[in-house]
Structure 1
Amino acid sequence: MSSEIDSSTLLSRASQLIDLARKAGADAADAVVVRSRSQSVSVRLGKVEGTESSESDDFSLRVFIGKRVASVSANPGFDLQALAERAVAMAKVSPEDPFACLADEANLAKSYPDLQLFDATEVSSEMLREAALAAETAALAVKGVTNSSGAGASGGMGGLVLATSHGFAGSYMGSRFGHSVSVIAGEGTGMERDYDFDSRLYYAELDDPAEIGRRAGERVVKRINPRQVPTGKNVTVIFDPRVARGFVGHIAGAINGAAVARKTSFLRDRMGQQVLKSGLSITDDPLIVRGPASRPFDGEGVSGERLVMIEDGVLKHWFLSTSTGRELGLQTNGRGVRGGTAVSPSSTNLALEPGDISPEELIRSVGNGFYVTELIGHGVNMLTGEYSRGATGFWIENGELAFPVSEVTIASNLKDMFMRLTPANDIDRKFGVAAPTFAIEGMTLAGQ
């Protein structure tokens, strides 16, 4: 990956685009460039299977005429004037949107911190190949591993260039590096698959590829010869951090202002009420230095701040962009994200804050229960909170992981699950969604 690219040329083109849109009849406009550069190498059984390299600068122009809005996208090399005129012509015939607008000028970031999101380390395809091979070799060396699904290594960068007609102009870039491996244990119908990976902003902070491979091998071997367990109610289920992060993503979806405005969230009427067990908090912070999902400003030029979204179990905030906030009668909190030509709210560095006990103590406290390491399917209804998903993991017997389990389903309602959640203290904040191991009491398990 090359060193950080100067964004001044892109910012100049974005500003030009806005000027042309205003001249063509737009009342207001913003232009954004989403920049990405990446390269990756994949290997399987000691041989390179693929190498990829990509670069893109995707331009989007959004124009406003009264309460009408239109957006257009283009790749580099487009005719600026033609794009601006096309956007304005589209806006003139678009239906009115009472909530679409630029962020209020008072909310725009006047200055923003250096969050150290960019690592200029150059990784060659040879370095990526060696890392992928080292991960696979270490995984295959674990006794019981019988085959490889492949390993990969990647490096890249991405960022945002934003200019608006009411004075905002800014850009930032972030880097991302990763190693991963997936392997198989067992034979025939008894085969099991598992994986491990690491992803960081800074190359030097990545876990050693051989360590990633060893962990993947050890994980898959533990899954050999799984059993089924009897159906039961009031089962305590412990979520491994890997699946716990996905569960916290359900919480984020339920407190997203867009879902609330559409009335598709089961928490839409719960602002100011208790939605998690007392003592639990969910935080969101876009300004963590070297944070995996940090950003100095959002997709509308607004700086966010650390928010305790759920404090001591009580719901305090929605994730809001400008238009979503207006629809709900609220102000943006700097959570707007550009997705193609649209802006919608989303989380940044989201965390279910940890508890006080270790994962081992949590497992011992359960006695008998189910430790989930993988979830299957999409059986989550965000309108009602109904939750039902296939799961694999390990049965907990007398406070210890006893044997692997597969082909079971766990079910409950998210409203109840939130109120019965007990977190451990092992949070890992290197991911954009962070969560510790946690237990949820009173779930239904469908097995034999």
Structure 2
Amino acid sequence: MTQIPDMLARAAQLVLDHARAGGATAAEAQVATSRGYSVSVRQQAVESLEFQHDREMAVTVYIGHRKGSASTGDLSEDGLRTSVSAALDIARATGEDPCSGLADAARLATVFPDLDLDHPWDLAPVDAIASARATEAAAMAVDPRIRQSEGAALSTHRTVSVYANSHGFLGTRESTSHGLNCAVVAIDGDDMQRDYWYTSHRRPDRLEAAEAVGAEAGRRAVRRLGARRLQTQKAPVLFTPELARGLFGAFVGAISGGALYRRASFLLDALDQPVFPTGIDLLQRPFLPGAAASSAWDSEGVATSDRTLVEQGVLRGWLLGSYAARRLGLSSTGNAGGVYNLLVEGERQSQQALLKQMGRGLLVTELLGHGVNGVTGDYSRGAAGFWVENGELAYPVDELTVAGNLRDMFRNIVGLGDDLRPYSSIRTGSVLIDGLTLAAQAT
């Protein structure tokens, strides 16, 4: 694998050379290869074993302010030349856009620290199958009411990519991703409840044990048996870390360049205004070793940086790539491609303490649907979880809707949990929000 980055770099340079020879005034290329496999078992039988080896090149060329893009999985010289020609043809047929073009050369990354992203797993498929089987067996052993399995799966992949542009930038990234998951169904009479659990990391030695993943999947399925429906009401809601990440993901979308220049964000005029309670900070930290979204440069090669996006509840910055920045009359913030490790910071307490603080309300453990309006901030999602009385879980609930407006929801955060999952691009624990509407779903 040590020769692969050099091979990809040569392919990227060949693409840039063909683009220049074909009349491009600027060009950029991303060349990547990934390989790995995934295995799934169901009822202890191997359901699938899939090996994957992908190669891809994506090129964007500029003729003045005319832009064309093409991609291919053929990394031969003829394949690369054909794709470049297609991109040039598209550019010649495209209208002028004065905001199109490469990122400013002065903003490109020049420092490339080792971010500890590459941890290949020399795991034989037979051992992967055994791990998946152990995960499923642990889930099924939790309770005799777990009678069906939707299976357990293990995956391991390694990716090597090169980004290069005609400013002379060349960046190489080698990274791995590994994961293990399981889903089972608990049955009690006519009541059937499904749930799952998972673990993922760049480092295989940081994955949760197979037995622990299975046991948690089984426990989560069983505890949902006997779910009731709620009456429509307003109540505080505690979002588990997995679901709280979605809330902050909506925030990221609302402060990103595409939504801003299209005027399609509910936070359009919120810069330097309070959007969260005092005491909450949102930080970008792109240089965390081994983290899910660590990178020294964004998808255009612009250097990333530590940033304070929210300071004591006040919005302090946007997430901009070069194109969006030009449309807005601003400068790139090094966020083409998104946010690079978002940390939600503030005073934290245990989930149990948050339940005590809530007293009476909903712990939501599952959300369904995509009812988030990025323009207005209106939020409405199908949900399931547990009703809380006197700070304790009283009984499971399902077939309900959680509704509010994200701008109000962010301002009404009254507690953060210390139950952070160790591996996620958005690091947050549970989040307690006051005053949401809970509505029974129509039957």
Could you tell me how far 1:188 is from its partner in structure 2?
Answer: 5.9
Amino acid at match of 1:321: G
Alignment of 1:52-67 (within 5 A): 52-67=50-65
Q: Which residue of 386, 390, 394 maps to 1:402?
A: 394
* Partner Cα distance (1:294, 1:307) in 2: 13
Residue of structure 2 in register with 1:340 after alignment:
none
TM-score, length-scaled by structure 1: 0.95
Alignment of 1:312-323 (within 5 A): 312-323=312-323
Query: Does the Cα contact within 8 Å between 1:354 and 1:436 map onto a contact in 2?
Result: no
Alignment of 1:353-432 (within 5 A): 353-421=345-413, 422-432=415-425
Query: Does the Cα contact within 8 Å between 1:358 and 1:424 map onto a contact in 2?
Result: yes
Could you tell me how far 1:447 is from its partner in structure 2?
Answer: 2.6
Judge which range, 275-284 or 182-191, deviates more.
182-191
Amino acid at match of 1:35: T
Amino acid at match of 1:44: R
Could you tell me how far 1:256 is from its partner in structure 2?
Answer: 1.1
Residue of structure 1 in register with 2:9 after alignment:
11
Could you tell me how far 1:357 is from its partner in structure 2?
Answer: 2.0
Amino acid at match of 1:359: Q
Q: CA RMSD in A?
A: 1.5
Residue of structure 2 in register with 1:248 after alignment:
248
TM-score, length-scaled by structure 2: 0.96
Residue of structure 1 in register with 2:301 after alignment:
301
- Secondary structure at 1:245 match in 2: helix
Could you tell me how far 1:78 is from its partner in structure 2?
Answer: 5.3
The reply to whether residue 291 of structure 1 matches residue 291 of structure 2 is: yes
The reply to whether residue 239 of structure 1 matches residue 229 of structure 2 is: no
Query: Does the Cα contact within 8 Å between 2:188 and 2:225 map onto a contact in 1?
Result: no
- Secondary structure at 1:186 match in 2: strand
Query: Does the Cα contact within 8 Å between 1:172 and 1:296 map onto a contact in 2?
Result: no
Residue of structure 2 in register with 1:218 after alignment:
219
* Partner Cα distance (1:129, 1:316) in 2: 48
* Partner Cα distance (1:444, 1:211) in 2: 35
- Secondary structure at 2:137 match in 1: helix
* Partner Cα distance (2:126, 2:318) in 1: 45
Alignment of 1:28-427 (within 5 A): 28-75=26-73, 76-77=75-76, 79=78, 80-143=80-143, 144-187=145-188, 189-233=190-234, 235-337=235-337, 346-421=338-413, 422-427=415-420
- Secondary structure at 1:286 match in 2: coil
Relative distance call for 1:323 and 1:427 in structure 2 (3 A) is same
Could you tell me how far 1:5 is from its partner in structure 2?
Answer: 5.6
Q: Any gaps of 5 or more consecutive residues in structure 1?
A: 338-345
* Partner Cα distance (1:319, 1:332) in 2: 8
Query: Does the Cα contact within 8 Å between 1:46 and 1:133 map onto a contact in 2?
Result: yes
Amino acid at match of 2:355: I
* Partner Cα distance (1:90, 1:247) in 2: 38
* Partner Cα distance (1:354, 1:146) in 2: 42
Query: Does the Cα contact within 8 Å between 2:379 and 2:406 map onto a contact in 1?
Result: yes
Query: Does the Cα contact within 8 Å between 1:353 and 1:427 map onto a contact in 2?
Result: no
Relative distance call for 1:212 and 1:354 in structure 2 (3 A) is farther
Amino acid at match of 1:147: Q
Query: Does the Cα contact within 8 Å between 1:30 and 1:162 map onto a contact in 2?
Result: yes
Could you tell me how far 1:96 is from its partner in structure 2?
Answer: 1.1
Amino acid at match of 2:438: L
* Partner Cα distance (1:229, 1:414) in 2: 22
Could you tell me how far 1:407 is from its partner in structure 2?
Answer: 0.9
Query: Does the Cα contact within 8 Å between 2:30 and 2:57 map onto a contact in 1?
Result: yes
Judge which range, 220-229 or 73-82, deviates more.
73-82
**Residue by residue, what CA displacement relative to the aligned partner does 1:392-420 show, whole Å, maximum 9, x if unpaired?**
00000011111101111111111110001
Could you tell me how far 1:289 is from its partner in structure 2?
Answer: 0.7
Query: Does the Cα contact within 8 Å between 2:60 and 2:67 map onto a contact in 1?
Result: yes
* Partner Cα distance (1:170, 1:188) in 2: 58
Query: Does the Cα contact within 8 Å between 1:24 and 1:85 map onto a contact in 2?
Result: yes
Q: Which residue of 419, 424, 429 maps to 1:436?
A: 429
Query: Does the Cα contact within 8 Å between 2:279 and 2:346 map onto a contact in 1?
Result: no
Query: Does the Cα contact within 8 Å between 1:354 and 1:424 map onto a contact in 2?
Result: no
Query: Does the Cα contact within 8 Å between 2:8 and 2:161 map onto a contact in 1?
Result: no
Could you tell me how far 1:77 is from its partner in structure 2?
Answer: 2.6
Could you tell me how far 1:121 is from its partner in structure 2?
Answer: 2.8
Relative distance call for 1:102 and 1:29 in structure 2 (3 A) is same
Relative distance call for 1:443 and 1:165 in structure 2 (3 A) is same
Query: Does the Cα contact within 8 Å between 1:354 and 1:435 map onto a contact in 2?
Result: no
* Partner Cα distance (1:258, 1:365) in 2: 38
Amino acid at match of 2:171: G
- Secondary structure at 1:336 match in 2: coil
* Partner Cα distance (1:382, 1:89) in 2: 35
- Secondary structure at 2:349 match in 1: coil
**Residue by residue, what CA displacement relative to the aligned partner does 1:181-209 show, whole Å, maximum 9, x if unpaired?**
00010146410000000000011111101
* Partner Cα distance (2:201, 2:2) in 1: 17
Could you tell me how far 1:328 is from its partner in structure 2?
Answer: 1.3
**Residue by residue, what CA displacement relative to the aligned partner does 1:252-295 show, whole Å, maximum 9, x if unpaired?**
11111111111111001111111111111112222111011112
**Residue by residue, what CA displacement relative to the aligned partner does 1:122-174 show, whole Å, maximum 9, x if unpaired?**
12211211111110000000013121110000100124211111111121111
* Partner Cα distance (1:130, 1:98) in 2: 57
Would you say how many aligned residue pairs link Structure 1 and Structure 2? 437
- Secondary structure at 1:191 match in 2: strand
Query: Does the Cα contact within 8 Å between 2:109 and 2:302 map onto a contact in 1?
Result: yes
Query: Does the Cα contact within 8 Å between 2:22 and 2:88 map onto a contact in 1?
Result: yes
Query: Does the Cα contact within 8 Å between 2:236 and 2:361 map onto a contact in 1?
Result: yes
